Amino acid sequence: MSSHTDATRILGVGILGAGPVTQAIHLPSLARLGHILAVRHIMDVDPTVAESVAARVGAAHSTSIDALLGDPDVDIVAICSPHQFHAEQVIAACRAGKKAVLCEKPFAMNADEAARISAVSQETAVPIIVGAMHTFDPGWIAASEDWGELPEHAHTIRSSIVLPPNARFEDFATEIITRPAGAAPDYSDPEVIKGALRGGVMGLAIHDLPLIRRFTPDFKDVEVLEARHVRPFGYVISLRTPTRSIELRAAMNNTWKPEWSFEAVSDDAALRIDFTPSYVQAGSAVATLTQGTRTTVHGPFEHNGYEGEWRELAALATGEKQPPSAQSLIDDLTFALDIAEATVTHVDTRNAVVEGARA
Amino acid sequence: MSQYTVRATPEAREAGAITLSVASLPESFGPAGDYDNAHVHAIAGHAGWTTEAARAISAGARGVVVVNPAPEDTDDLDDAAQQNGTVVVLDQRWASNPAATAAEVAVRSMAGRAAVLDVVATAPLGTDIGALIADQLAAVVRLAGPLGNLKLLDRRQNGYTATAVLANGAPVALQGIISDARPASVNITMLTDDGGARVTLPDPVAAWPATVKVTGPQGELLVPTIYESAHRTTWRRLKEHLDAGTLPSDLRQFAAVSEAIASLT
Ligand SMILES: NC(=O)c1ccc[n+]([C@@H]2O[C@H](COP(=O)([O-])OP(=O)(O)OC[C@H]3O[C@@H](n4cnc5c(N)ncnc54)[C@H](O)[C@@H]3O)[C@@H](O)[C@H]2O)c1
């Protein structure tokens, strides 16, 4: 009998794409979980990157997805390539019969891709999770066990993000070997603003949209009241559903002081969660839950949501836990796509009004 | 020996915690034995307060305190106050907080570099939405100056959403939240490229201090905390003006807020 059927053995991890997220987020998280998981294979289209990142963890390396998926030592596949490759790679990993798949956010770029993933996930029964790390954060999970009916009764939801440059936190987490070059976009061009807002929703807000959706039963009826760009990169987006008021704020700038908070407020209860910054291993979020005049604090716990993802994947791969329904992943994605689309339309409409007024 | 005698309407006394404020400044103020000839008249700021305040001026008041003034045209009252040398001070929920002075310096010094201004007002169930908008705007205008393109986007039973821009074009987002689960307060956050200012102004029902934090490349500074309610600060300001014979700019500042609110409807 091969060691692959031994339930107590260490699970092998294969990673597609070895950029900053793999280097600074996943490898350090996996380094804390050596008793259950080991990196066996690193694939990147850039052979130098694949080889040198693999060497850090003593893993095999390759430049082809088939080589990684065909590697019998790989039980769990993490997809950390640029977003346009996610859907195709998730599908291939499921078809290869792997034990579990982690797809970095975003899960897919349109509803069509999402539907294809859902079909393959049902057909192959391979568990998939999306790297919305805050949903795996012990602070969030502890709050969810205590918040009672707040998701049904919240009327106001806020997500606020202030992010120092990524490099600041990557450098606290590892020694990066590749870094994408930054560009200086022309923000006088409405198309650039629209692209920045869409990118803001699909790249940044998307981390917490699953959290917001948890508190928004009528998420399908979301509409944009106002959407504005924050310089150099960020957004102020006001949303409404028939029962919820939702505010999204983000500013990526040159400050040293990060903030990443989620709030949900009802008539008589309020939740505030302060997350630790991306990349660093700074423990979990702290959740502050107020019900009436009583305030309960959950956390901090020792690990963050990234490590939470890997613990979840190990539990899914061994069958210890059941995967989330593909429908909930698709709903999360559709919610994000709807908001991104409505945001861009809103900017278009406003520009048309301004143009009309000038004409 | 008290210097200035005070008369207050029951409504003003209640809303402005006047008994406590006056008792906490015992060398400066005391109750009026001769009610008709009190130096200071305190009134509540419900609709029509400008007429009532003008009447107090005609009756010879040297000082007038208006508690929670509702938006109203203050031009005539301001003229009357100037002519008679009467000190009219406004006791506003958040804008009158003693920390507003330091917060204003912090916010205005970075307003030209602002990337975004985010303002969240929270108040308990039963709060009138119109009054909450007015209190929030009074605080923002006090700290950041007049706002451009102010517009109410949404108004519900449990809050509202409004939008505006700063002089440099940076977005301003204003939100009101009605809930019993949080202390009533207004949170004002201005972000710049390398830091910003965060201000929390509490309700004057206790002398809990506001927080004013300024963040820059060198770190973060917490401006010294002041354990004095907006009510007491208002009375202390009144005394300083009465002693010095100077007139405050409360009415003129309030005109900007009234104008902003008029533009919303
Ligand atoms: N969860 C988080 O906090 C978080 C934060 C940032 C980014 N992300 C997501 O993680 C992913 C990776 O981010 P990054 O910053 O490392 O991105 P990146 O684009 O800088 O790096 C991706 C790596 O993938 C390689 N690559 C390109 N095409 C590939 C392909 N077809 N197959 C395999 N590899 C390929 C590139 O050579 C590069 O080394 C993105 O999807 C991003 O949205 C998540």
Chain A residues with CB under 8 Å of a chain B CB are: 155-156, 158, 160, 162, 225-226, 228-232, 234, 236, 238, 240, 245, 247, 249, 251, 253-257, 265-270, 290-292
Closest by alpha carbon to B53, among B36, B67, B37, B33?
B67
- How confident is the model at residue A3, as a pLDDT? 44
The type of residue at B138 is: A
- Closest partner residue to B158 (CB to CB) among A238, A251, A267 is A267
Backbone angles phi, psi at B121, to 5 degrees: -105, 135
B84 touching A (Cβ < 8 Å) = no
**Domain for residue A278, yes or no?**
yes
- How confident is the model at residue A109, as a pLDDT? 86
Query: How many residue contacts between A and B have a Cβ separation below 8 Å?
Result: 101
Q: Are residues A212 and A349 in the same domain?
A: yes
Domains of chain B: 4-93+230-264 (3.40.50.720), 100-222 (3.30.360.10)
The type of residue at A37 is: L
**Domain for residue A3, yes or no?**
no
Q: Are residues A159 and A198 in the same domain?
A: yes
Both tokens of B19, joined, read 């008994």
Helix axes B250-264, B129-144, angle to 10 degrees: 130
- How confident is the model at residue A8, as a pLDDT? 64
Helix axes B129-144, B100-110, angle to 10 degrees: 60
Cα-to-chain-centroid distance, residue A335:
14
Q: Are residues A149 and A285 in the same domain?
A: yes
If one counts the domains in chain A, the total is 2
Question: Does ligand 1 lie within 6 Å of residue A308's CB atom?
Answer: no
Q: Are residues A124 and A147 in the same domain?
A: no
B169 touching A (Cβ < 8 Å) = no
* Structural domain ending residue among the three candidates A106, A131, A156: A131
A293 burial via Cβ count (<10 Å: 0-12, 13-18, 19+): exposed
**Domain for residue A5, yes or no?**
no
Residues of B in contact with A245 (CB under 8 A): 154, 156, 158-159, 161, 175
Shortest Cα distance, chain A CAs vs residue B116, angstroms: 7
* Structural domain ending residue among the three candidates A131, A155, A182: A131
CA distance B33 to B31: 6
CA distance A261 to B193: 19
Cβ–Cβ contacts within 10 Å for residue A195, how many? 13
Q: Are residues A30 and A90 in the same domain?
A: yes
Residue with tokens 């909450």: B132
Q: Is the peptide bond before A151 cis (omega within 30 degrees of 0)?
A: no
B170 touching A (Cβ < 8 Å) = yes
Whole-prediction pTM value?
0.94
Q: Are residues A74 and A149 in the same domain?
A: no
Atom of ligand 1 nearest to the CA of A81: 24
- How confident is the model at residue A355, as a pLDDT? 60
Closest by alpha carbon to A232, among B121, B194, B37?
B194
- Beta strand pairing call for B116-123 and B185-192: antiparallel
CA distance B201 to B98: 9
Tell me, what DSSP letter sits at residue B176?
E
CA distance to A110, A167, A336, B91, per residue, from A116 (Å):
10, 35, 18, 62
**Domain for residue A318, yes or no?**
no
Both tokens of A83, joined, read 């977003």
Cα-to-chain-centroid distance, residue B76:
20
Q: Are residues A125 and A156 in the same domain?
A: no
Both tokens of B166, joined, read 């700063």
Asked if A28 contacts A174 with a C-beta cutoff of 8 angstroms, the reply is yes
Please list the ranges in chain B whose pLDDT falls under 50: 1
Q: Are residues A74 and A165 in the same domain?
A: no
Q: Are residues A344 and A198 in the same domain?
A: yes
- Structural domain boundaries enclosing A92: 11-131
CATH of the domain at A221: 3.30.360.10
CATH of the domain at A21: 3.40.50.720
- How confident is the model at residue A357, as a pLDDT? 56
Q: Which residues contact A188 (CB under 8 A, 6 or more apart)?
A: none
Residue B197 pairs in a beta bridge with B190, B214
CA distance A256 to A164: 6
Q: Are residues A96 and A146 in the same domain?
A: no
**Domain for residue A309, yes or no?**
no
Question: Does ligand 1 lie within 6 Å of residue A304's CB atom?
Answer: no
- How confident is the model at residue A1, as a pLDDT? 39
Q: Are residues A299 and A152 in the same domain?
A: yes
Q: Are residues A342 and A198 in the same domain?
A: yes
Residues of A in contact with B217 (CB under 8 A): 256
Please list the ranges in chain A whose pLDDT falls under 50: 1-7, 359
Contact B180 A254 (CB under 8 A): no
- Closest partner residue to B173 (CB to CB) among A231, A238, A267 is A238
**Domain for residue A66, yes or no?**
yes
**Domain for residue A125, yes or no?**
yes
Closest by alpha carbon to A135, among A278, A265, A306?
A306
* Structural domain ending residue among the three candidates A98, A115, A131: A131
Backbone angles phi, psi at B7, to 5 degrees: -125, 145
